[in-house]
Structure 1
Amino acid sequence: MTTPDMSRAHWRKSSRSSASGSNCIEVATLAGGSIGVRDSKDPHGPTLIFPTDAWTAFLTTVSGR
């Protein structure tokens, strides 16, 4: 898998994250449609990259639909 360009990614943090900023993740749709997930406290650290279908399956599972 080729690493997608993340230079233009618009990262979003959960509206339920605490004001202290601890234990938060950010999510972005990346070029080519893959999904990036990173630690909001370490924006220059590692990013997990998921194919769209895997991310959709994860969301479906955790939402109980």
Structure 2
Amino acid sequence: MPSTPSSEAQTWFKSSHSGGNTTECVEAAHLGEATAIRDSKATEGSSLVFRPNAWTSFVSALQDGRLR
């Protein structure tokens, strides 16, 4: 899974599942045929980049409780 440095040129948005919890905030950015995610408290760090099928598998694994 490739990673990419965070960039202000990308349009980041806070995950709708982050809610008011300040300890578990995730931001995402749509990059054409990919989705990037990063920790909103560490925006200068790297982000994870997922292709569509990998993103779907990742979200499904989170929803199913396979990733903790």
Q: Output the TM-score relative to the length of structure 1.
A: 0.64
Identify, as 1 or 2, the structure richer in strand.
2
**DSSP-derived class of the 1:42 partner:** coil
Greater per-residue helix proportion: 1
2:11 aligned counterpart, secondary structure: coil
Q: Which of the two has higher C-alpha Rg?
A: 1
Cα displacement (A) at 1:46: 1.1
Structure 2: give runs of 5+ residues left out of the alignment: none
**TM-score after normalising by structure 2:** 0.62
Q: Considering Cα pairs closer than 8 Å and 6+ residues apart, tell me whether 1 or 2 has the greater RCO.
A: 2
Aligned residues: 60
- Percent identity between the two aligned chains: 37
State the one-letter code of the partner of 1:53. Answer: N
Structure 1: gaps spanning 5 or more residues:
none
Q: Given that residues 34 and 49 in structure 1 are in contact (C-alpha distance below 8 angstroms), is that contact kept between their aligned partners in structure 2? A: yes
Residues of 1 paired with 2:17 and 2:51: CA distance?
A: 25
Partner residue in 2 for 1:43: 43
Pairwise CA RMSD: 2.5
